[in-house]
Amino acid sequence: MLLQTKGIIKNYITGDIETKVLKGVDIEVKKGEFVALMGHSGSGKSTLMHILGMLDKQTDGQYIFDGEDTSKFDEDELAEIRNKKIGFVFQAFNLLPRTSAIENVRLPMMYAGEKEDYQIKRATELLEKVGLGHRLNNLSNELSGGEQQRVAVARALANKPSLILADEPTGNLDGASTNEIMELFDQLHKEDHTILIVTHEDDVAAHADRIIWMKDGLVSKRKK
């Protein structure tokens, strides 16, 4: 089992008002699985994704990642896990502006303290893998939306993560680019990468092995 949550609760407090977003979420994701997380706006799926990615902490409950209870980790330890074990792909790409494709892909390796020669070699290989070997030195703002997202996928793979977390990765893309990105995820799945994708699009979720549905802060149903 790569990750498991037990009774995850997340509350937000604004002034005197407490909003209960997650109300006791139990999920499991096995190594090598491709799982889609779906739900209407306000269902809690994005909040859960942020907790799974260690971008936020639960109010209560247990999150076990790669055999370790993350609730015991401090912020520095969580940041190290995020950098080395989790690759992120976001709807808005989140590339550094006016920075080349290869420099964007190198960034997680820089934070991990890898040697420069290794960074350049691996970033080049990853960009070639996603079909952008001819765009290594193009700035991010010179790339199409689909190309930017392919750079983001390459960046997510930089440190050979245990988990790829994708939050609405096709939300800003046209149909053709969506197909290209999902073909990439299909290929990564065949290579035994573990993928968790948050989406509201049925055709995107159809690529997954399994769908976890969220409703009102709880897992409402699971579908193969």
Helix 101-111 crosses helix 116-129 at what angle (to 10 degrees)? 130
Q: Each residue of 122-174: pLDDT tens digit?
A: 999 999 999 999 999 999 999 999 999 999 999 999 999 999 999 999 999 99
- Residue 112 pairs in a beta bridge with none
CA dihedral sign of residues 35, 89, 174, 215: positive
pLDDT tens-place string over residues 49-97:
999 999 999 999 999 999 999 988 999 999 999 999 999 999 999 999 9
Q: Which domains does the chain have, with CATH numbers?
A: 32-57+71-223 (3.40.50.300)
- The model's pLDDT over 191-205, given as tens digits with 9 standing for 90+, comes to 999 999 999 999 999
